[in-house]
């Protein structure tokens, strides 16, 4: 006899109070009392978030009769024993505008399964039905639904009943409710869509055209067909915001409306490049992490931390390909791509924490470090996104160099796809390294030990030179110089380094981070201090830089600053900014240049 399905229903109950009402009904509950649990975290975002803290009421019924329900721990409940169908109803406060949470107001709703759908323990292999109900009143007639949950009894983009194979799948299809703009395109017969909520005037035709080109490049990398039968980009456009979360057939993106292409816009602006890079990143995850998945996540244990050293591969390799596939698809130029690479190298060189934490440790400690950043983060941590992407670059160039261009990281990804992605078997902790060695046919143990498990700097200059690229290092031309560009002329004066990260404050200049070994640390400045005067004159963020850069190395500056409500005075040593700014430039055109454009930045392999 087929097992009876789990039935969920979710309704925007009180828009102004940001409350969803969610029910879970099970036809054959555990005879000793049925336990229900809400996940503590959401896959793709490695932090214990305790979603159950947003549950504001819980009740249970057996048929029409109310049934006692008791709480066992922070996110588990148990009903009294009952015969026949049991329904648990929760009310969930939803006011998290990020891509990881649930949100509801009078203009839109959004939810991720882990925030709203209870798991009936022991029954989570059942097929699931999810009834998505409209808000009451006029709004309910104007709103639509965007999700890749499969429709059972619902019109396209409409309210009604959706279905999923099991609870794991229910969790992996975020849902947008509201009056979003919609664009659609097909790729190799697979329908793709983009739904954009928020106020914006994006050119939907242009977006569809560019995304189609980009997605095609991803599918070609892994060899068609795509591993999904539909795909959806859910976008929330806001004034300022950035974020993305990957799912098996969709992604939720948060972006600034200025990053979306306007009608009549020509070329790809820097801000649109940011949006395309984000979309590219999450789409790549449909292969790398959603299907080629660490054994540590197979299956996910959503009650507690799931440790892996492999986030350098799942986030770093994905970060490497997100921009690389923009240039391969022809959406951005080689020059644009080299600029983003130069900026990444600059950003890593400006992170003292790269000398403290290996990228493998950064991955393992994501739960308590990367996702819980504080004022000491630049000194103590390295990002597995940033360093991971440059490890991927170094690995790719090394394989290409050692095999005379016959093999590349593309082949490693295709091998991982064939071995683990298509079967769903989890990737053991050493398997990315083993697969790379097998595919390339060369020993890479020394490379991986240094790149992943040590804090020595990556060796990038030589492999880049073999690709016909000169890695130039210089001091920054200003405090806003993020690298990536070669200076047309030397700055009139050397830039002065404070050794701290700062931000504007109504009272002056606020220090957000003090870097180890820098002038600010020597002067006794701390994160949170607000500098109010430089040499006895009031400062703001703008004139602080100008006035500091007029000083000469060896001099001192007198700073007055508030620490909490106490005024202090200190002397800051004036020192030149270090050589930590990188730009990549093609050496005079030659055969390597042609090979670089044709293979690495072109189609892939030689």
The C-alpha atoms of residue 328 and residue 569 are separated, in whole angstroms, by: 54
Radius of gyration in angstroms for the set of CA atoms belonging to the chain, rounded to a whole number: 26
Dihedral, 374, 376, 381, 382 alpha carbons, nearest 10? 90
Among residues 283, 284, 280, the alpha carbon closest in space to that of 327 is found at 280
Q: Rounded to a whole number, what is the largest CA-CA distance in the chain?
A: 84
Please report how close the Cβ of residue 253 comes to Zn ion at its closest, in angstroms.
11
Residue closer to Zn ion by CB (options 162, 312) is 312
Contact 19, 103 (CB under 8 A): no
Contact 169, 162 (CB under 8 A): no
Please report how close the Cβ of residue 285 comes to Zn ion at its closest, in angstroms.
6
Residue closer to Zn ion by CB (options 315, 323) is 315
Count of other CB atoms within 10 angstroms of residue 274? 16
* Residue whose beta carbon is closest to Zn ion: 315
Please report how close the Cβ of residue 45 comes to Zn ion at its closest, in angstroms.
9
Residue closer to Zn ion by CB (options 324, 548) is 324
Please report how close the Cβ of residue 429 comes to Zn ion at its closest, in angstroms.
19
DSSP string, 249-266: SEEEEEEEGGGSPPTT--
Contact 496, 549 (CB under 8 A): yes
Residue closer to Zn ion by CB (options 180, 312) is 312
Quick one: how many helices (H) and strands (E) in the chain?
18, 31
Tokens 């979360």 belong to residue = 245
* Binders in 297-336 for Zn ion, by CB under 5 A: 315
Please report how close the Cβ of residue 505 comes to Zn ion at its closest, in angstroms.
32
Please report how close the Cβ of residue 254 comes to Zn ion at its closest, in angstroms.
13
* 244 three-state secondary structure: strand
Residue closer to Zn ion by CB (options 314, 337) is 314
Please report how close the Cβ of residue 41 comes to Zn ion at its closest, in angstroms.
15
Residue closer to Zn ion by CB (options 385, 447) is 385
Count of other CB atoms within 10 angstroms of residue 30? 17
Size, binding site for Zn ion by CB under 5 A: 1
Which residues neighbour 466 within 8 Å (Cβ) at sequence distance 6 or greater?
A: 397, 401, 592
Contact 180, 195 (CB under 8 A): yes
Contact 523, 573 (CB under 8 A): yes
The C-alpha atoms of residue 533 and residue 567 are separated, in whole angstroms, by: 11
Residue closer to Zn ion by CB (options 37, 217) is 217
- Please provide residue 363's backbone torsions phi and psi, each rounded to the nearest 5 degrees: -65, -50
Please report how close the Cβ of residue 359 comes to Zn ion at its closest, in angstroms.
15
Residue closer to Zn ion by CB (options 176, 282) is 282
Please report how close the Cβ of residue 188 comes to Zn ion at its closest, in angstroms.
24
* Cα atoms found within 13 Å of the Cα of residue 435, Cβ hemisphere only: 21
Residue closer to Zn ion by CB (options 317, 548) is 317
Applying CB under 5 A, which residues contact Zn ion?
315
């Amino acid at each position: 006899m087929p097992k009876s399905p789990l039935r969920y229903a979710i309704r925007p109950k009180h828009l102004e109070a940001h409350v969803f009402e969610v029910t879970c009904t099970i036809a054959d509950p555990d005879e000793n009392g049925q336990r229900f649990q809400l996940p503590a975290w959401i896959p793709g975002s490695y932090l214990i978030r305790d979603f159950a803290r947003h549950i504001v009421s819980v009740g249970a019924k057996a048929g029409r009769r109310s049934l006692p329900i008791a709480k066992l721990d922070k996110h588990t409940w148990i009903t009294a024993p009952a015969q026949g169908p049991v329904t648990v109803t929760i009310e969930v406060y939803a006011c998290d505008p990020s891509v990881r949470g649930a949100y509801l107001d009078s203009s839109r709703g959004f939810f991720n399964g882990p925030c709203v759908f209870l798991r009936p323990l022991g029954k989570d292999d059942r097929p699931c039905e999810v009834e998505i109900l409209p808000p009451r009143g006029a709004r309910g007639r104007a709103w639509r639904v965007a999700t890749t949950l499969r429709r059972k009894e619902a019109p396209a983009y409409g309210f009604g009943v959706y279905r999923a194979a099991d609870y794991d799948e229910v969790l992996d299809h975020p849902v947008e409710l509201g009056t979003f703009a919609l664009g659609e395109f097909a790729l190799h017969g697979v329908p793709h869509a983009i739904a954009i909520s928020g106020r914006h005037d994006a050119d939907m035709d242009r977006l569809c055209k560019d995304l189609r080109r980009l997605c095609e490049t991803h599918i070609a990398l892994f060899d068609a067909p795509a591993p999904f039968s539909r795909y959806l980009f859910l976008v929330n456009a806001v004034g300022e915001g950035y974020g993305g979360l990957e799912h098996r057939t969709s992604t939720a993106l948060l972006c600034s409306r200025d990053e979306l292409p306007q009608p009549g816009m020509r070329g790809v602006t820097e801000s649109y490049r940011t949006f395309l890079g984000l979309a590219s990143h999450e789409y790549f995850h449909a292969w790398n992490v959603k299907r080629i998945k660490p054994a540590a996540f197979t299956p996910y244990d959503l009650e507690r931390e799931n440790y892996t050293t492999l986030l350098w591969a799942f986030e770093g390799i994905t970060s490497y390909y997100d921009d690389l596939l923009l240039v391969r698809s022809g959406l951005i130029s080689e020059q644009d791509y080299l600029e983003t690479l130069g900026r990444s190298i600059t950003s890593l060189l400006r992170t003292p924490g790269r000398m403290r934490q290996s990228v493998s440790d950064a991955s393992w400690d994501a739960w308590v470090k990367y996702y819980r950043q504080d004022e000491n983060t630049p000194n103590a941590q390295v990002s597995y996104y940033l360093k991971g992407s440059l490890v991927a670059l170094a690995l790719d160039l090394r394989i290409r160099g050692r095999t005379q261009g016959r093999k590349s990281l593309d082949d490693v990804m295709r091998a991982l796809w064939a071995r683990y992605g298509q079967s769903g078997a989890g990737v053991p902790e050493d398997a990315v390294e083993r697969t790379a060695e097998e595919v390339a046919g060369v020993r890479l143990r020394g490379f991986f030990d240094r790149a992943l498990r040590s804090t020595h700097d990556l060796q990038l200059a030589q492999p880049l030179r073999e690709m016909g690229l000169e890695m130039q290092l210089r001091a920054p031309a200003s405090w806003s110089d993020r690298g990536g560009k070669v200076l047309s002329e030397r700055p009139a004066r050397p830039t002065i380094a404070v050794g701290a990260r700062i931000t504007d404050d109504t009272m002056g200049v606020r220090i957000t981070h003090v870097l180890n070994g820098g002038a600010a640390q020597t002067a006794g400045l701390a994160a949170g201090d607000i500098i109010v005067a430089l040499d006895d004159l009031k400062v703001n963020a703008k004139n602080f830089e100008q006035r500091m850069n007029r000083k000469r190395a060896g001099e001192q500056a007198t700073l007055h600053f508030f620490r909490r409500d106490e005024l202090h005075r200190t002397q800051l040593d004036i020192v030149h900014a270090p050589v930590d700014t990188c730009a990549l430039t093609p050496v005079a055109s030659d055969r390597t240049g042609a090979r670089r454009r044709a293979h690495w930045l072109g189609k892939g392999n030689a």
